[in-house]
Structure 1
Amino acid sequence: MIGVPMPNPRDSIIDNLNQQLEAFFGAGNKAQEIAPGVSGEVGGPIKSTRSNKLRVERDKIAPKLKEAVESGASLHQACLAAGIDYKRARLIACENGFKLPSNP
C-alpha cells in the first residue's frame, strides 16, 4: 500500500527462526553437540573433483621424486629428474611422508 512502511525482512526471518526453535524444543527435542572436526558433509563437487585429480597426478610423480631423493640427489636435481618445480616437490614430499634435502 502507498504510504505504509514496509516491514523489515530481517525481522520476519528472525521471528520465523524463533518460532521454529520454540517448536523444536517444545516437542522435547534436544540439541546435539558434534565433536570438532566431525561433520556429516562430504567435500563439495568443486573441491573433491579438482583436488582429487591433482592428487592423483602428484601420486604418480611421488615414486620418481622419492627415488631421486634417496639416491642422494640435491633438491634441484630431484626436481629436474621428476620434471616439477620445488614448490610442488615440497607438497608431494609432505603428502607422502618423506623429507627433501635442503638447499645449500
Structure 2
Amino acid sequence: MIGEPMPDPRRSIIDNLNQQLDAFFGAGKSVQVIPSGVSADAPFFGTNSHQLKLRAERDKLAPAVRAEAAKGVVASVAAKNLRMHVKRVTLIAQENGFRFADNP
C-alpha cells in the first residue's frame, strides 16, 4: 500500500537463493565439478555449420589450386591467376596436402 516500505529487491533475491541452496544441500545432493572446456551440448571449436560451409566452398576450388601448384608457380602467382587472395590459396593448399614452388 501507499506509505509502506518496500522490501529491498536485491535482499529478497539473495534470501530466495539461500533458501534454494539450503533445500538442495539439505536433500543430500552434492556439487558436481565439471572441468574447464568440457561440455556435452556444444560442438567442438571450429566445427559449426558456417565453418563447414566455408570448407565446402574451399574444397570446390581445390582442383584449380592444385592445377596451379602443378604448374610450378608460387602461391602469389597462383592467387593472381585464380583471382583469389594469397592467404586463401595457401589455406586450400595446406588443407589438401600440396605445396607451391618456393621460387618461380
The answer to whether the superposition gives a TM-score over 0.5 is: yes
Q: Deviations over 1:26-59 (max 9, x none)?
A: 222222222332212234xxx8333322222123
TM-score by length of structure 1 reads: 0.58
- Note the C-alpha offset of 1:75: 1.8
Q: Percent identity over the alignment?
A: 46
Distance 1:22 1:2 in 2: 34
- Counterpart of 1:75? 75
- Partners of 2:100 and 2:12 in 1: how far apart? 58
Q: How high is the TM-score relative to the length of structure 2? A: 0.58
Alignment-derived partner of residue 60 in structure 1: 60
Partner of 1:7: 8
- SS state at 1:22 partner: helix
1:88, distance to aligned residue in structure 2 (A): 2.7
User: Would you say the 8 A contact 1:61–1:82 is kept in 2?
Assistant: no
Which protein, 1 or 2, shows the higher relative CO under an 8 Å CA cutoff with sep ≥ 6? 2
The unaligned stretches of length 5 or more in structure 2 are none
Cα RMSD of the aligned pairs, angstroms, is 3.5
Counterparts of 1:37-52 in structure 2, within 5 Å, are 37-43=37-43, 48-52=48-52
Amino acid at match of 1:34: I
* Contact 1:64-1:81 within 8 A present in 2 as well: no
